[in-house]
Amino acid sequence: MTDVHPTFPAPDHDHARCAAEALLRAEQTCLRRGQNFTPIRRQVLQALLGSHRPLGAYEIIEQLAAQIARPAPITVYRALEFLMQNGLVHRIESRNAFLACAHRHDECGNVAFLICERCGSVGELVIGTLAANLKESARLAGFAATMTVIEITGICSNCQTQAQT
């Protein structure tokens, strides 16, 4: 049995509280690791927390440009890399986009992404056991896996409910 826990924002989701908790977690993570949570890193994370949908780097730049001076793309990519390395942001490979992580797993936390084809929201499945099995299968096939990304597209429960009404 895998440790599967799907998560999508509920229709009554308190987004302000969710974003505040994620920022606090980011601050605590950086403090615990002795890393600097710079203003640009915070601003990039806040831009991603503004939605439960993945954003591309240039969408993030446009959001930041509306609030502060337009950052250079390399600055945003470096901030994203830092946030990914610390388990605060995920990259959605198929969309070349990034998503703030709302869960408390480390940077090695294995997740699968559930991508809604209708609303674009993304949920996470914690798949530690499944990922370990895949990595072991790859090893037995003589392959040294370094990264496992699983993306599943479909229709989220919120959109399914809306379609039924």
Say yes or no to pLDDT of 32 above 70. Answer: yes
Q: Is residue 120 part of a domain?
A: yes
Say yes or no to pLDDT of 4 above 50. Answer: no
Higher per-residue pLDDT: 100 or 125: 100
Q: How many domains does the chain contain in total?
A: 1
Higher per-residue pLDDT: 96 or 16: 96
pLDDT tier for residue 55 given thresholds of 50, 70 and 90: very high
pLDDT tier for residue 44 given thresholds of 50, 70 and 90: very high
CB 113 within 8 A of CB 122: yes
Say yes or no to pLDDT of 5 above 50. Answer: no
| C-alpha to C-alpha distances, 135 to 10, 40, 112, 150, nearest whole angstrom | 33, 35, 14, 13
Say yes or no to pLDDT of 50 above 90. Answer: no
Higher per-residue pLDDT: 127 or 151: 151
Q: Is residue 4 part of a domain?
A: no
Q: Is residue 44 part of a domain?
A: yes
Which domain covers residue 80, as residue numbers?
Answer: 15-164
7-16, 132-141, 150-159: segment of lowest average pLDDT: 7-16
Query: Given this model, what pLDDT does residue 147 score?
Result: 74
| Residue of 3, 2, 13, 1 lying closest to 119 (CA atoms) | 13
Q: How far apart are CA 38 and CA 45, in angstroms?
A: 11
Find out whether 159 is annotated in a ligand binding site: yes
Find out whether 116 is annotated in a ligand binding site: yes
Q: Is residue 78 part of a domain?
A: yes
CATH number (domain holding residue 123):
1.10.10.10
Query: Given this model, what pLDDT does residue 131 score?
Result: 85
pLDDT tier for residue 75 given thresholds of 50, 70 and 90: very high
Q: How far apart are CA 144 and CA 161, in angstroms?
A: 42
Average pLDDT of the residues of the chain: 85
Q: Is residue 5 part of a domain?
A: no
Query: Given this model, what pLDDT does residue 11 score?
Result: 58
Query: Given this model, what pLDDT does residue 140 score?
Result: 96
**Cβ-count burial of 54 within 10 angstroms (0-12 exposed, 13-18 middle, 19+ buried)?**
buried
Q: What's this model's pTM, rounded to 2 decimal places?
A: 0.79
List, as one string, the DSSP characters of the chain.
------B---TT--HHHHHHHHHHHHHHHHHHHT----HHHHHHHHHHHT-SS-B-HHHHHHHHHTTSSPPPHHHHHHHHHHHHHTTSEEEEGGGTEEEE--S---TT--EEEEEETTT--EEEEE-HHHHHHHHHHHHHTT-------EEEEE--HHHHHHHH-
Find out whether 30 is annotated in a ligand binding site: no
